[in-house]
Chain A
């Protein structure tokens, strides 16, 4: 069906989208850039790996567990580090720093765990170079992950949309993002909103890591490498829109695989080594052109102008198109 590289790209992009969605969620609510996302993703991937080793089955069965692990990590971070700092009204950079410390602790635990695992259970278990795609099944001649993960990403965004617009708590969350003081006046407990953002964000980070693990090989520094495209997607999405982050993740992930593939046709195989540079280029270009990300672009205005332009060319009255809004 589709080339295997593109299938891997689709899986990778979906995982990236989920993780970026988590980063944006946490940043929107608590203005904290979560460095710990890197190793929360690694924790998610290793959760799935461990379960697969012991109980076999399909990796997808353990994705909810990965989400749960991430949610617990997020809640721990909020209760011990982020919450007290937020109450103290710490600066953005201090908030970032504190998550960096948390990230290093998580990294060290991953390292210890992997070494412990390696010593206790000998090969064929190789946690240092874990490839989860080997446990996948095939649907219609292509890996199931290439179908399931995009559906999961889109479904999660739809779920978030419904949650944010229909559920009472979701609306409270949006109100807190827009104006924390005013939300407090109306009686919204901002503490609970922050906690919820950490739980959802952390869960998405680990889930994203578990999904990405279906496309790339997991090692101890898996998250540390993946954090750059995650941030790039989040920035591409504009940092203030969950949907933008998902779109950004899809664009960055697919571009990473697609552009490398196209360049490798032209320049040869050595291009693959530079894959990590592509998200950087996308990020740089985005920040140059739109400092507020894709979601910050006035799409409505642009579309209106475009419609007016094409309408004018086609001879149809542009008024009708523009006047509807």
Chain B
């Protein structure tokens, strides 16, 4: 009886501790806001929040793997996202057109041929579920390969350069694909968007819901992979590299290989996020792939959530996406009172949040925790003891 009481007491303490934690409170607030959005603006608003959350979660997780775990100041995240998006818009669309025996040459990306062509393909895909799924899988694979390739490409300077030099070089090279895509029409239509065969057409009226659910599942899968990665020997290698390169060398780790692999994994994830964005919007427009949206915002999300902790990143992305949605909603009602577009408040919020986090909470809402792992023998011994206890009782 006394034991039970003490147990209850302990649990009570834990519960109050949990309730007072900042991250838990933030999560509660997010859920409350999401419920409020759903109740007052309908389910489409919740879906749009979840959709944006899924896409940016993948980008921010990839950033977290490179920056939070490996210690590469990745200020050029947008490069791999753009690579994934452009491969879907520029290459995969052509492949689909080619297999269906349509125009797939230089003229494909010109808006006068592209729009009717894609409309035709889409109406064909409406009745062909198998082909649609196949196309979607092809998109993901190609995007991952393209992102991984560009990750490998930027790993070349990442091996030679250090900290600040590296960050600046990555920042500068991040815009490379954007400039090419924006000016070279055959790639993704330059200043006109190139449309993409839509693999979700066969669901008809529930396309939006289906897209959101699929993206959310993909994002959760990525979160799972990232968590697995942190707890794997490779993840510990990454952290060792970040914390002390010399120690990693002493323990016989191949620094070049580990860093390259990390950048390839991160790049592939970012590429997938880019392709998801393109499929969701139905078109690939080079102008959307700006440094601000795909590098600086993910950085802010990561810093808010906690650099190096995957769950923290998820929380950070959720908070920011909800806040941004709120600003977008109240934009119209704020407009008469302000002499400017309230959209700028988004940037102020983002910047102030970054500064405040860096100054007052440098480890974010959910600080990274050391992953404690036991030796295998010890775990087996514990398991054996537990089994014996079950048998004896």
- A residues apposed to B, CB below 8 Å: 27, 31, 33, 80-81, 84-85, 90, 92-94, 96-98, 100-109, 111-113, 115-116, 119-120, 224, 228, 231-232, 235, 239, 270, 273-274, 276-277, 279-280, 283-284, 287, 291
Complex Cα distance, B341 from A260, in Å, reads 37
Most-contacted residue by chain A among B161, B168, B175, B180 (CB, 10 A): B168
Q: Which residues of A contact B183 (CB under 8 A)?
A: 270, 273-274
User: Does B165 lie within 8 Å of A235, measured CB to CB?
Assistant: yes
Q: Is B359 an interface residue (CB 8 A)?
A: yes
* A96 and B350 contact, Cβ closer than 8 Å, known pairs A115-B341, A120-B339: no
Complex Cα distance, B358 from A90, in Å, reads 10
Complex Cα distance, B171 from A270, in Å, reads 25
* A33 and B168 contact, Cβ closer than 8 Å, known pairs A105-B351, A116-B340, A228-B175: yes
Q: Quick one: which of B100-122 are within 8 Å of A by CB?
A: none
Q: Which residues of A contact B173 (CB under 8 A)?
A: 280, 284
User: Does A96 lie within 8 Å of B164, measured CB to CB?
Assistant: yes
Q: Is B31 an interface residue (CB 8 A)?
A: no
Could you give, for residues 161-194 of chain B, a 1 whenever the CB lies within 8 Å of some chain A CB and a 0 otherwise? 1011101110111011001101100000000000
- B residues apposed to A, CB below 8 Å: 67, 73, 75, 157, 160-161, 163-165, 167-169, 171-173, 175-176, 179-180, 182-183, 291-292, 296, 299-300, 303, 339-341, 343-348, 350-355, 358-359, 362
* A101 and B340 contact, Cβ closer than 8 Å, known pairs A228-B171, A231-B171, A276-B175: no
Closest-CB distance, A295 to chain B (whole angstroms): 14
DSSP majority for the B interface? helix
User: Does A280 lie within 8 Å of B176, measured CB to CB?
Assistant: yes
* A280 and B172 contact, Cβ closer than 8 Å, known pairs A100-B299, A101-B353: yes
Listed A/B pairs (29) with beta-carbon separation below 8 Å? A33-B167, A80-B355, A90-B358, A93-B73, A93-B167, A94-B358, A96-B75, A96-B167, A98-B354, A98-B358, A98-B359, A100-B299, A100-B351, A102-B351, A102-B355, A103-B351, A104-B348, A105-B347, A105-B348, A105-B352, A107-B347, A108-B345, A111-B344, A115-B339, A115-B344, A116-B339, A232-B172, A276-B179, A277-B179
Most-contacted residue by chain A among B67, B354, B362 (CB, 10 A): B354
Complex Cα distance, B168 from A27, in Å, reads 12
Complex Cα distance, B128 from A121, in Å, reads 56
Q: Which residues of B contact A31 (CB under 8 A)?
A: 164
Supplied contacts A96-B164, A284-B173, 8 more A-B pairs, CB within 8 Å: A92-B164, A106-B351, A111-B343, A111-B344, A115-B339, A283-B172, A284-B169, A287-B169
Q: Which residues of A contact B180 (CB under 8 A)?
A: 274, 277
Complex Cα distance, B291 from A231, in Å, reads 15
Q: Which residues of A contact B164 (CB under 8 A)?
A: 27, 31, 33, 92, 96, 239
Q: Which residues of B contact A119 (CB under 8 A)?
A: 339-340
User: Does B161 lie within 8 Å of A287, measured CB to CB?
Assistant: yes
Q: Which residues of B contact A84 (CB under 8 A)?
A: 359
Closest-CB distance, B353 to chain A (whole angstroms): 7
* A100 and B354 contact, Cβ closer than 8 Å, known pairs A274-B183, A287-B165: yes
Complex Cα distance, B167 from A104, in Å, reads 18
User: Does A274 lie within 8 Å of B358, measured CB to CB?
Assistant: no
Closest-CB distance, B384 to chain A (whole angstroms): 45
User: Does B344 lie within 8 Å of A277, measured CB to CB?
Assistant: no
Most-contacted residue by chain A among B340, B353, B362 (CB, 10 A): B340
Complex Cα distance, B341 from A276, in Å, reads 29
Complex Cα distance, B171 from A231, in Å, reads 9
Complex Cα distance, B165 from A98, in Å, reads 17
